[in-house]
């Protein structure tokens, strides 16, 4: 799996960080998403998929391999 984010679409809801903190974080100054791991471990795939699904701005994109 490869993960990308569109920070310019992010609305700083933080759901991705709550669900998968090992893959996503937020910038201190404005809360926008920061991608920590663009190729997460297979054990996190379900949580990463959930993070993408609940993102209110649809800013998280996944490419399944």
Q: pLDDT value at position 24?
A: 98
pTM: 0.95
In angstroms, the CA 17 to CA 38 distance is 14
Measured in degrees and rounded to the nearest 5, phi and psi for residue 49 equal -60, -40
pLDDT in tens, 27-59: 999 999 999 999 999 999 999 999 999 999 999
The answer to whether 35 and 26 are in contact (CB under 8 A) is no
pLDDT of residue 65: 83
Domain coverage including residue 54: 2-63
Tally of domains within the chain: 1
CATH of residue 54? 3.30.70.20
Tell me the DSSP string of 4-56.
Answer: EE-TTT-----HHHHH-TTTEEE-TTT--EEES-SS--GGGHHHHHHHHHH-T
């Amino acid at each position: 799996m490869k993960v990308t984010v569109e920070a310019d679409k992010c609305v700083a809801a933080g759901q991705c960080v709550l669900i998968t903190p090992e893959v996503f974080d937020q910038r201190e100054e404005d809360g926008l998403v920061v991608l920590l791991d663009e190729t997460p471990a297979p054990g996190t795939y379900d949580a990463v998929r959930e993070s993408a699904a609940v993102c209110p701005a649809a800013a998280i994109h996944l490419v399944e391999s």
